[in-house]
C-alpha cells in the first residue's frame, strides 16, 4: 500500500503542536509505515516543497508575507489542509493585540530593527485559504492527532466536535467548578475533545480550545455575573485564545 505524503509546517506559533507528533515515540514506527513525512522543517532536512501531498498539517497563524505564500503553496499542492492547534484555528495568543497599531507594537518589541518590518495582524488559516478540518487545542491532545492520522490513512476526515468541555466534565462526574465552587471556569463555552483535562484536576478551564459551536454566550455571561464575574473579565479571558469572541 502506498504511504501517504504529508507536509507538516509551522507558521507564527511556538512549535508545540508539531512537537506533539514527535512526542508520539511509541507510535512513530507504525506511523512511518503509513506516512511519508516529506516536508517537515522542524524534524527533517532538507525541507523542500516538491510534488503533491495527500494532506498538509499547518500549525500557527499567519503574520508575515512569506507565511502567507507558504500557506497558499501548501493549499495548492495538498488534497487536504488541516489547521493544527488553536493558533491555526482561531488566531491564538499571537493575535491578542490585534486592533492595535502594528507600527507601535513593532517599535515596542523590535525597536529600530528591520526584522519584523513586514508583519501584519495575525490571522487564522481560514482567513486566507479553505481549511478542510481542524484540530483545536494548545496543544491538541495526543489522541486527537493520532485519530486524525488514522482517519487520513482510511481516506476520510475527522468528525467535527460539537460539544463543550463542560459536557465531558459532567460525564466524568466532576463537581462543577463554576456553579458548585464559584470559580471562573470557561468549560461551558469551550470546545470539547480534551476529556476535561484541566477540570479533572480541579483546575478551571482556560478556554484554550476556542468556542464550542452555537454556544449561548449571552446566557452564559448572565450565569458568570451571578457568580460575581463581570462580562469584561470573562470576555478578556475568552479572547486570550480566540480574539474573535464578540457579544
- pLDDT at residue number 247: 63
Structure confidence at residue 229 as a pLDDT band (50, 70, 90): very high
Question: Looking at the predicted structure, is the pLDDT value of residue 47 above 80?
Answer: yes
For residue 100, CA distances in Å to 104, 116, 120, 122 come to 8, 16, 11, 12
Q: Is the bond preceding residue 46 a cis peptide, omega within 30 degrees?
A: yes
- pLDDT at residue number 245: 82
> Percent of the chain having pLDDT more than 70?
98
Mean pLDDT of 183-200: 96
Burial label, 49 (beta-carbon count in 10 A; 0-12, 13-18, 19+): middle
Structure confidence at residue 214 as a pLDDT band (50, 70, 90): confident
Locate the domains of the chain by residue range. Answer: 4-153, 165-238
Task: State if pTM tops 0.95.
Answer: no
Instruction: Please give the span between the terminal C-alpha atoms of the chain, in angstroms, as a whole number.
Output: 50
Question: Looking at the predicted structure, is the pLDDT value of residue 116 above 70?
Answer: no
- pLDDT at residue number 126: 97
Neighbours of 173 (CB within 10 A): 6
Which helix H or strand E contains 10, and what residues bound it? strand 4-10
Neighbours of 112 (CB within 10 A): 6
At residue 22, φ and ψ (nearest 5 deg) are -65, -20
Architecture of domain 4-153: 3-Layer(aba) Sandwich (3.40)
116 or 75: which carries more pLDDT confidence? 75
Mean pLDDT of 96-115: 83
At residue 166, φ and ψ (nearest 5 deg) are -60, -40
3-state secondary structure of 50: coil
Distance CA 189, CA 241 (A): 13
The neighbouring-strand residues paired with 4 are 35
Mean pLDDT of 56-69: 96
- pLDDT at residue number 91: 95
Long-range contacts for 97-106 (Cβ within 8 Å, ≥24 apart)? 98/122, 98/243
- pLDDT at residue number 244: 83
For residue 27, CA distances in Å to 24, 135, 145, 153 come to 5, 19, 11, 14
Amino acid at each position: 500500500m502506498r504511504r501517504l505524503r504529508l507536509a507538516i509546517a509551522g507558521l507564527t506559533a511556538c512549535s508545540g503542536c508539531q512537537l506533539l507528533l514527535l512526542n508520539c515515540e511509541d507510535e512513530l514506527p507504525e506511523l512511518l509505515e503509513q506516512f511519508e513525512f516529506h516536508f517537515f522543517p522542524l524534524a527533517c532536512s532538507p525541507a523542500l516543497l516538491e510534488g503533491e501531498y495527500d494532506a498538509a498539517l499547518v500549525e500557527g497563524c499567519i503574520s508575515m508575507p512569506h507565511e502567507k505564500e507558504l500557506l497558499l503553496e501548501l493549499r495548492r499542492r495538498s488534497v487536504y489542509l488541516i489547521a493544527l492547534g488553536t493558533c491555526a484555528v482561531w488566531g491564538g495568543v499571537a493575535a491578542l493585540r490585534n486592533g492595535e497599531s502594528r507600527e507601535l507594537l513593532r517599535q515596542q518589541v523590535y525597536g529600530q530593527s528591520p526584522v519584523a518590518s513586514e508583519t501584519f495582524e495575525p490571522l487564522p488559516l481560514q482567513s486566507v485559504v479553505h481549511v478542510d478540518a481542524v484540530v483545536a487545542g494548545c496543544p491538541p491532545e495526543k489522541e486527537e492527532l493520532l485519530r486524525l492520522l488514522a482517519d487520513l490513512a482510511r481516506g476520510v476526515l475527522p468528525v467535527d466536535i460539537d460539544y463543550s468541555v463542560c459536557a465531558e466534565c459532567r460525564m466524568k462526574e466532576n463537581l462543577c467548578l463554576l456553579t458548585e465552587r464559584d470559580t471562573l471556569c470557561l468549560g461551558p463555552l469551550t470546545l470539547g475533545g480534551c476529556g476535561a483535562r484541566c477540570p479533572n484536576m480541579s483546575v478551571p478551564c482556560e478556554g484554550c480550545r476556542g468556542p464550542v459551536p452555537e454556544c449561548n454566550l449571552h446566557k452564559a455571561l448572565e450565569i458568570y455575573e451571578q457568580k460575581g464575574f463581570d462580562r469584561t473579565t470573562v470576555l478578556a479571558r475568552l479572547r486570550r485564545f480566540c480574539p474573535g469572541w464578540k457579544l
